[in-house]
Chain A
Amino acid sequence: MKEKLEGNGIDTDKALEMYGDMVYRIAAVRMNNTADAEDVFQEVFLRLVRYRDRIGSEEHLKHWLIRVTVNCCKKQFDNAYRRYTVPLDDKREEPSCEMPERDDSVLVAVRALPPNYRDVIHLFYYEQYSVREIGEILGLGESAVKTRLSRARDLLRDKLEGGL
């Protein structure tokens, strides 16, 4: 029999259904391969089970999930960097995320950006958060978010126009 995962107002089972895609998208955009994105996905929801008592509201839950996903991606990226770093003469093809692979794909262009820029682009253009909200979620000042957004846009423009 399936156990209901409830704790202090947060139904973790429901959260998995409701925010699973959101977490997966952030992880997939941030990480360079499916396995790492899936590891991040699992880690985020396991943390939710551990820390659900600290989450008070639905809005808090969404922000918490985004912040934890970004943090887990950073951690996983560091681990993945060590795991997949190989000497230049032993370079191999790495498994890539299951995503559209067209060269002119916006998603491919975003994934080619530096990791910090991917977060702000995703939160701004996909989750449609304001600069202030992105700052709150990522723990950045508004000016830092604006700078990252502006540089990310310039890089994206170069990539997309260059690709055409």
Chain B
Amino acid sequence: MWKQDENPYREETQRLHAPRELVERTRTAMQEETVRLEREKRKKMHRWGAYAAAACICIAALGGYGGYRYHADNFTVISEIEAAEQEDSWEAGLSLGKSAEEPEEDEHRQEEKVTAVSGEERGIAPEALWEVPVSRIRGQEVYIGRDKGTYYAAWEKEGKFWFVHTDEMKKEEFLKYLKEMI
């Protein structure tokens, strides 16, 4: 449009300069913006720090609780006893009470704390107890249940069915008893 050696647009535009006052005003605004951004960044970091700390506390608490539950409920911590399921599962759907059929034979109390019943029929123990996940004590399959403070166990050995229950023992004590019984 213009000749090779002349560019009047460039010559005229070249005379335009950003006013010094505008540059200084902008510089101040930029410094303020930098400070504001730094402050925001710090605030964000603080916030993330707080979130991270809260998350760590939650993880530690949940992990600790989970570990406690695992060790508290898993029978594998007792040597020689393998429990297939955790204690909580004993309670699922159970409405245990006394045996559906009152046994007529071989009822006796051992150690005065546990009521033990044996018989020829599976019905000596409540049906619900036979449905809980099976546990193993010295390789013997045992159905262990709990209803509030009462522990129940049933198993079949050499063609004979056993049903024991107690509300006077703690879990460890009851398991120890079962270990001796089986």
Contact = CB atoms under 8 A, between A and B. Distances in A.
A77 B33 CA distance: 24
B16 A106 contact: no
Nearest to B30: A49
Interface in B1-49: 1-2, 7-10, 12-13, 15-19, 22-23, 25-27, 29-31, 33-35, 37
B7 to A, nearest CB: 6
Nearest to B33: A49
Contact of B22 (A41, A99, A107, A126): A41
A76 to B, nearest CB: 15
B26 A41 contact: yes
Interface stretch (A12-20, A54-62, A84-92, A139-147): A12-20
Contacts of B37: 49-50
Looking at chain B's contact residues, is the secondary structure mostly helix, strand, loop, or mixed?
helix
A102 B13 CA distance: 13
A146 B109 CA distance: 105
B10 A105 contact: no
Contact of B13 (A3, A5, A46, A122): A122
A66 interface: no
Given A24-B18, A99-B16, A107 B9 contact: yes
Interface in A126-163: 126, 153, 156-157
A138 B35 CA distance: 32
A31 interface: no
Contacts of B7: 125
Nearest to B17: A21
A50 B17 CA distance: 25
Given A16-B26, A45-B26, A3 B31 contact: yes
B152 to A, nearest CB: 67
Given A25-B13, A46-B30, A3 B35 contact: yes
A61 to B, nearest CB: 15
Given A41-B22, A49-B33, A110 B16 contact: no
A106 B18 contact: no
A155 B7 CA distance: 17
A125 B9 contact: yes
Interface of B: 1-2, 7-10, 12-13, 15-19, 22-23, 25-27, 29-31, 33-35, 37
Interface of A: 2-3, 5, 12-13, 16-17, 20-21, 23-25, 28-29, 38, 41-42, 45-46, 48-50, 99-100, 105-107, 110, 121-122, 125-126, 153, 156-157
Given A25-B16, A41-B22, 15 more contacts: A3-B35, A12-B34, A13-B30, A20-B23, A23-B18, A24-B18, A41-B26, A45-B26, A46-B30, A46-B33, A49-B34, A49-B37, A106-B9, A107-B9, A107-B12
29 contacts: A2-B31, A3-B31, A3-B35, A5-B30, A16-B23, A16-B26, A16-B27, A16-B30, A20-B18, A21-B16, A25-B13, A28-B16, A38-B19, A38-B22, A41-B18, A41-B26, A42-B25, A42-B29, A45-B26, A45-B29, A46-B26, A49-B30, A49-B37, A106-B8, A110-B9, A125-B2, A125-B7, A125-B9, A125-B10
